[in-house]
A and B are shown apart, each in its own frame.
Chain A
Amino acid sequence: MADVSMAPQASAANPSDVAIQPPPRDRKLRETIFRYGLLVALSAGLVVLAVILYDVIVRQDGFSTLFQTGFFSNNASSVARDSGIYPALVGTLWLMLVCILFIVPIGVATAVYLEEYADRTRWYNRFIELNIQNLAGVPSIIYGILGLAFLVRGPLSLGRVVLAVGLTLGLLVLPVVIIAGREALRAVPPSIREGSMALGATQWQTIWKQVLPAAIPGIATGTILALSRAIGETAPLILIGAAAFATDPATGFLSNFQALPLQIFQWISNAQKEQFAPLAAAAIIVLMAILLAMNAVAIWLRNKYQQRW
Chain B
Amino acid sequence: MEAGSHPVAGATPGARPLGVRRPRRGEEAIRVGLFAAASISVLTTIGILYALLSETIRFFSDVGITHFITDGEWTPTFADPQYGIWPLINGTLLITGIAILVAVPLGIGSAIYLAEYASPRLRRIVKPMLEVLVGVPTVVFGFFALTFVTPLVLQDLLGLGAVTQNALAAGLVVGIMIVPTIASISEDAMAAVPQGLREGAYGLGASPMQVALRVVVPAALSGIVASIVLGLSRGIGETMIVLIAAGLQPNTGLNPLEGFETMTTFIAATGQGDIPTGSTEYKTIFAVGMVLFVMTLLMNMIAIRFVRKYRQVYD
Task: Tell whether B110 is near chain A: CB-to-CB under 8 Å.
Answer: yes
Task: Tell whether A146 is near chain B: CB-to-CB under 8 Å.
Answer: yes
Whether A233 contacts B137 in the complex (CB less than 8 A), given A42-B114, A45-B179, A117-B35, comes out as yes
Contact across chains for B42 and A45 when beta carbons are under 8 A apart:
no
B297: chain A residues at CB < 8 Å are 134, 137-138
Query: Residue of A at shortest CB range from B45?
Result: A131
B176: chain A residues at CB < 8 Å are 44-45, 48
Whether A140 contacts B239 in the complex (CB less than 8 A), given A113-B34, A146-B44, A268-B142, comes out as yes
A239: chain B residues at CB < 8 Å are 267-268, 271-272, 285
Interface mask (A126-160 → B, CB under 8 Å = 1, otherwise 0) = 01101111110111111111101110011000000
Whether A41 contacts B105 in the complex (CB less than 8 A), given A228-B135, A234-B139, comes out as yes
Task: Tell whether A184 is near chain B: CB-to-CB under 8 Å.
Answer: no
Query: Residue of A at shortest CB range from B299?
Result: A137
Stretch from B79-87, B124-132, B195-203 that touches the partner = B124-132
Task: Tell whether A277 is near chain B: CB-to-CB under 8 Å.
Answer: yes
A37: chain B residues at CB < 8 Å are 109
Contact across chains for A137 and B303 when beta carbons are under 8 A apart:
yes
Task: Tell whether A49 is near chain B: CB-to-CB under 8 Å.
Answer: yes
Whether A145 contacts B267 in the complex (CB less than 8 A), given A130-B304, A134-B304, A242-B272, comes out as yes
- In angstroms, Cα B39 to Cα A141, docked, is 22
- In angstroms, Cα B129 to Cα A111, docked, is 28
Q: Give chain B interface residues in 206-244, CB to chain A under 8 Å.
A: 207-209, 212, 230, 233-234, 236-240, 243-244
Whether A232 contacts B51 in the complex (CB less than 8 A), given A41-B109, A55-B144, A55-B148, comes out as no
Task: Tell whether A254 is near chain B: CB-to-CB under 8 Å.
Answer: no
Whether A52 contacts B277 in the complex (CB less than 8 A), given A134-B45, A145-B267, A145-B286, comes out as no
Contact across chains for A49 and B129 when beta carbons are under 8 A apart:
yes
A142: chain B residues at CB < 8 Å are 48, 52, 237, 289, 292-293, 296
Contact across chains for A145 and B52 when beta carbons are under 8 A apart:
yes
Stretch from A3-11, A93-101, A284-292 that touches the partner = A284-292
Task: Tell whether A109 is near chain B: CB-to-CB under 8 Å.
Answer: yes
Whether A137 contacts B230 in the complex (CB less than 8 A), given A56-B143, A145-B286, comes out as yes
B39: chain A residues at CB < 8 Å are 128
Contact across chains for A141 and B268 when beta carbons are under 8 A apart:
yes
With beta carbons under 8 angstroms apart, the residue of A233, A238, A295 that contacts B271 is A238
Contact across chains for A41 and B113 when beta carbons are under 8 A apart:
yes
B52: chain A residues at CB < 8 Å are 142, 145
Stretch from B23-31, B58-66, B67-75, B154-162 that touches the partner = B23-31
Contact across chains for B48 and A146 when beta carbons are under 8 A apart:
yes
With beta carbons under 8 angstroms apart, the residue of B55, B180, B274, B301 that contacts A45 is B180
A242: chain B residues at CB < 8 Å are 271-272
Interface mask (A94-132 → B, CB under 8 Å = 1, otherwise 0) = 000000000001100110111001100000000110111
- In angstroms, Cα B39 to Cα A178, docked, is 12
Contact across chains for B114 and A117 when beta carbons are under 8 A apart:
no
Contact across chains for B110 and A45 when beta carbons are under 8 A apart:
yes
- In angstroms, Cα B113 to Cα A130, docked, is 31
Contact across chains for A128 and B264 when beta carbons are under 8 A apart:
no
How many A-B Cβ pairs are below 8 Å? 268
Whether A145 contacts B285 in the complex (CB less than 8 A), given A138-B293, A242-B272, comes out as yes
Task: Tell whether B312 is near chain A: CB-to-CB under 8 Å.
Answer: no
Task: Tell whether A38 is near chain B: CB-to-CB under 8 Å.
Answer: yes
Whether A49 contacts B38 in the complex (CB less than 8 A), given A41-B106, A295-B131, comes out as no
Task: Tell whether B255 is near chain A: CB-to-CB under 8 Å.
Answer: no
- In angstroms, Cα B301 to Cα A56, docked, is 37
Contact across chains for A277 and B147 when beta carbons are under 8 A apart:
yes
Query: Residue of B at shortest CB range from A144?
Result: B271
B19: chain A residues at CB < 8 Å are none
Contact across chains for B35 and A42 when beta carbons are under 8 A apart:
no
Contact across chains for B38 and A113 when beta carbons are under 8 A apart:
yes
Interface mask (A168-198 → B, CB under 8 Å = 1, otherwise 0) = 0001001100100000000000000000000
Task: Tell whether B18 is near chain A: CB-to-CB under 8 Å.
Answer: no
B33: chain A residues at CB < 8 Å are 109
Residues of A within 8 A of B (CB): 20, 23, 27, 30-31, 34-35, 37-42, 44-46, 48-49, 51-52, 55-56, 59-60, 105-106, 109-110, 112-114, 117-118, 127-128, 130-135, 137-146, 148-150, 153-154, 171, 174-175, 178, 202-204, 225, 228-229, 232-235, 238-240, 242-244, 261, 264-265, 268-269, 277, 280-281, 284, 287-288, 291-292, 295, 299
Q: A41-B105, A291-B137 are in contact. List 14 more A-B contacts (CB 8 A).
A: A31-B208, A39-B113, A44-B106, A46-B126, A51-B144, A118-B38, A135-B41, A135-B45, A140-B239, A142-B48, A145-B267, A178-B41, A242-B272, A265-B240
